[in-house]
Structure 1
Amino acid sequence: MMQRQQTGALATGIVRFSQEGHWDQDVHHLLRHARREAVVAVSNPTHSRDHLRLGQVVVDDLLAAGKQVRLLYSPDYLELRDRRPLLRHSSQGAQIRVTDNDFHNVLIIDRTVAVLWSGAGADHPYAYLVREPALLRALHQFALLSWQSGHGLAGHLDTADVEITPTARAVLNTLNLGLIDEAAARRLGMSLRSYRRHIAELMIRLEVRSRFQIGVRAAQLGLLDDTPHPVASP
């Protein structure tokens, strides 16, 4: 587990530990024990591939368990990442924001424990485990304010990032045509329930809250076809 470098610091609720060895597994072991929520803010990541891979797995697990997950990233970090896991996390319910504001790498679990760590290129790498209540409140407040000031993930994606199925694209086009749900479902040869489910999934994928916003965002990303979708046979 975590190798403390300052054993006396435990009494203050702040422990420094080494990023060498298995610190990735240690951090994600903490994350897996989240009971209600996790806030993950990454501005300058480490070079560890295990850190990224484990992070994706743990976030998947938390979302599957119904936990609230907020993810905050810097634009630079976003450039380094495969967008497909991000889109999957968004579709599963993770709340993802991107901000240009300066912030530290931090993980906060249930507002009871936090981990701060340095990123790649740090002259003096550090990682701190924090349990001190006053500092935890300050870290959580700062992380939440940074998250709220950010922008949705969709604003940082392009057409290549937003992979939608042919069916979802056809649904987009019926929305663009202004068809009522019943007519659109008949046009596409699907049930009304399936049609509305596709619309709900598109809202999640494009990070919007209304059908009008779906159309605006789809147009921005070039996801709408000029050629009308053929009418399904009765």
Structure 2
Amino acid sequence: MPVANAWQFGVMAATEIVTLRGEAELVRRAGALFDGVRREFLCVAGDPGTWSTAAAASGAPRSPVPGLVVRKLYGPGVFLAPGGRELLDRLAAAGAEIRISPAPPAHEAIVIDRRLAVLAAPRPAAGRARTYSVVQEPDVVAGVRALFETAWETATDLASYRRTPFPRLGGDERAVLRSLAAGHTDETASRLLGMSLRTYRRRVAALMTALDARSRFQAGLRAREILGGLSEA
């Protein structure tokens, strides 16, 4: 029986690695992937969309069994991603423990009941499917879990993180804020920052959502306030 079919029907061997290609396949397998979660569900994500679609398809983390520990670790960019704040609110309301790491996580992964890990490969070039590896080798799963625990200990819980005047920003976000504060046109700002116009506009849109700004002018004013506060911190 091929490896993929073996895993699909629940008889995956401990030494096998199953590769899923693309989000569509991840979603199709999500029911089996999360089936049987009983004690612990650990998840680290830089992009809130990496796992949320599959989790919604399975329903497992939405309706956890009694005693199930659900821990979600995100990078600071979750606050700037479309729907990121709403996702955090839903997870917190469902009882998940949430922490924010000081920098975007280098790898995205899920660990289930200390028996199975799902590793997301780096995002590929446009037009190519992202791959996800399902691993059940005990030593590998233990290693992934140990890395999660290390990152978890250095992260800040969601409530404490939200008490800061504004979520901590990375270098790219600060650069976009400076461009907004300076009143540059999109074309000028993207050229100065070495970004494509599309990427710059996407970052501006995310920042406007995070700033609760209804216009570029309002976003520029808020950006000046934030940058002033950051320089004083």
SS of residue paired to 2:106: coil
Report the equivalent of 1:154.
159
Identity, in percent, stands at: 25
Instruction: Please give the TM-score of this superposition, normalised by the length of structure 2.
Output: 0.54
Instruction: Please give the TM-score of this superposition, normalised by the length of structure 1.
Output: 0.54
Report the equivalent of 1:83.
85
CA-to-partner distance for each residue in 1:64-89, whole Å, 9 max, x for gaps?
53311111111113422342342343
Asked if 2 retains the 8 angstrom alpha-carbon contact of 1:43 and 1:77, the reply is yes
Bigger drift between 111-120 and 30-39 goes to 111-120
2:114 to 84, 101, 111: 111
Matches within 5 A, 1:171-190: none
Q: Structure 2 vs 1, CA of residues 49 and 115 (structure 1 numbering), >3 Å: closer, same or farther?
A: closer
Report the equivalent of 2:39.
36
Report the equivalent of 1:60.
62
Bigger drift between 113-122 and 72-81 goes to 113-122
Report the equivalent of 2:95.
93
C-alpha displacement at 1:42, in angstroms? 0.8
Matches within 5 A, 1:16-31: 16-19=19-22, 21-31=24-34
Asked if 2 retains the 8 angstrom alpha-carbon contact of 1:38 and 1:69, the reply is yes
Q: Which runs of 4+ in 1 moved over 6 A?
A: none
Aligned length, in residue pairs: 157
C-alpha displacement at 1:101, in angstroms? 5.3
2:132 to 127, 130, 152: 127
Partner amino acid, structure 2, of 1:143: F
CA distance in 2, matches of 1:115, 1:50: 15
C-alpha displacement at 1:28, in angstroms? 4.6
Q: Structure 2 vs 1, CA of residues 78 and 111 (structure 1 numbering), >3 Å: closer, same or farther?
A: farther
Asked if 2 retains the 8 angstrom alpha-carbon contact of 1:31 and 1:38, the reply is no
Partner amino acid, structure 2, of 1:127: Y
CA distance in 2, matches of 1:3, 1:157: 44
SS of residue paired to 2:80: helix
Report the equivalent of 2:18.
15
Report the equivalent of 2:205.
none
CA distance in 1, matches of 2:69, 2:14: 30
Q: Which runs of 5+ in 1 are unaligned?
A: 162-234
CA distance in 1, matches of 2:119, 2:62: 22
CA distance in 1, matches of 2:112, 2:51: 22
Q: Which runs of 5+ in 2 are unaligned?
A: 167-233
Asked if 2 retains the 8 angstrom alpha-carbon contact of 1:117 and 1:128, the reply is yes
Q: Which has the larger radius of gyration?
A: 1
Partner amino acid, structure 1, of 2:36: H
CA distance in 1, matches of 2:49, 2:86: 20
